[in-house]
């Protein structure tokens, strides 16, 4: 990839060691002749990433989710350095960042394109989500009846605590906790997973990339909450559907040249990575 000549650092100072790590990486960037700027303010101000080649996020996955929309607007890749817990999105550890940051600035990285969900609520409210869109009762954790329509065709009515619509990137987040499938980040699909459905045969559904989904509230005396990436909420007008599709925009995520998605999954989810011995001929 092309070398990085200007870089914005977004640092979550609530994460232990994040500020000290930022100082170390800024010094590396300065020595390499890279222009840099740093902010610890959240949410990001509009335009704060304008004019840079990339953004280095130091924190957890939640920090990166809070930066994603602005990075998408500017069309720049995010370098995620993990100072949180799991770190599916912030793929560089602190040690990896210290060891390889100089090489990365010279172009030793690859860029993955991650799908985003486009969500609107019929009231003029519209936003993007990198991980997921959650639809549930606005106030209580009570049962709701949600009707799902895909490309004009009824899927079914769900009696459940809510529905999660997930990107492949977000399949390791709330979707996974609710029993949904793991989806490879290169797949152009939407995973829909009901939360505690009252029909045991209700399971996750995988929709193709160009599907247009509409969700209607069929619960009497109930208003819906639409939460994007667990950070931002959209209001839903009474009688208005929630519309979800895959956005034409992509998030650009910088990774090490030897990055392996399944190696990350094995590590984060504590899977055994040993391959079974192949059967012998004639066995």
Give the active site residues: 61
Task: Give the C-alpha separation, 131 to 191, whole Å.
Answer: 11
Asked if 22 and 59 touch (Cβ cutoff 8 Å), the reply is: no
Both tokens of 180, joined, read 């949904």
- Comparing CA positions, the residue from 201, 195, 79, 84 lying closest to residue 133 is 195
In the chain, alpha helices (H): 18-31, 61-74, 94-105, 174-177, 261-268
Q: 94-105 and 18-31 are packed helices; what angle lies between their axes, rounded to 10 degrees?
A: 20
Task: Give the C-alpha separation, 101 to 165, whole Å.
Answer: 35
**Strand boundaries in the chain, DSSP class E:** 6-11, 35-39, 54-59, 78-82, 110-120, 126-129, 132-137, 144-150, 153-160, 162-166, 190-195, 205-207, 213-217, 224-228, 232-235, 242-255
């Amino acid at each position: 990839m092309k070398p990085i000549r200007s870089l914005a650092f977004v640092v979550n100072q609530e994460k232990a060691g994040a500020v000290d790590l930022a100082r170390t990486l800024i010094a590396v960037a300065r020595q390499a002749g890279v222009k840099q700027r740093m902010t610890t303010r959240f949410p990001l101000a509009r335009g704060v990433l304008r004019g840079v080649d990339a953004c280095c996020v130091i924190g957890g996955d939640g920090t990166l989710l809070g930066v994603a929309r602005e990075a998408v607007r500017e069309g720049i890749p995010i370098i995620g350095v993990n100072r949180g817990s799991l770190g599916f999105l912030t793929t560089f550890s602190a040690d990896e960042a210290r060891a390889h940051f100089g090489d990365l600035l010279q172009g030793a990285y690859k860029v993955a394109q991650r799908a985003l969900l486009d969500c609107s609520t019929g009231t003029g409210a519209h936003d993007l989500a990198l991980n997921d869109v959650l639809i549930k009762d606005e106030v209580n954790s009570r049962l709701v009846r949600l009707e799902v329509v895909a490309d004009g065709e009824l899927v079914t009515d769900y009696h459940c605590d809510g529905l999660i619509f997930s990107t492949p990137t977000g399949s390791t987040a709330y979707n996974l906790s609710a029993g949904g499938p793991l989806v490879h980040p290169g797949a152009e699909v939407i995973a829909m997973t009901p939360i505690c459905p009252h029909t045991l045969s209700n399971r996750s559904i995988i929709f193709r990339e160009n599907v247009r989904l509409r969700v209607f509230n069929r619960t009497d005396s109930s208003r819906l909450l639409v939460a994007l990436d667990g950070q931002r909420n959209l209001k839903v007008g009474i009688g208005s559907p929630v519309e979800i599709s895959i956005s034409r925009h992509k998030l650009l995520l910088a990774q090490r040249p030897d990055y392996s998605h399944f190696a990350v999954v094995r590590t984060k989810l504590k899977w055994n990575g040993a391959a079974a011995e192949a059967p012998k001929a004639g066995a």
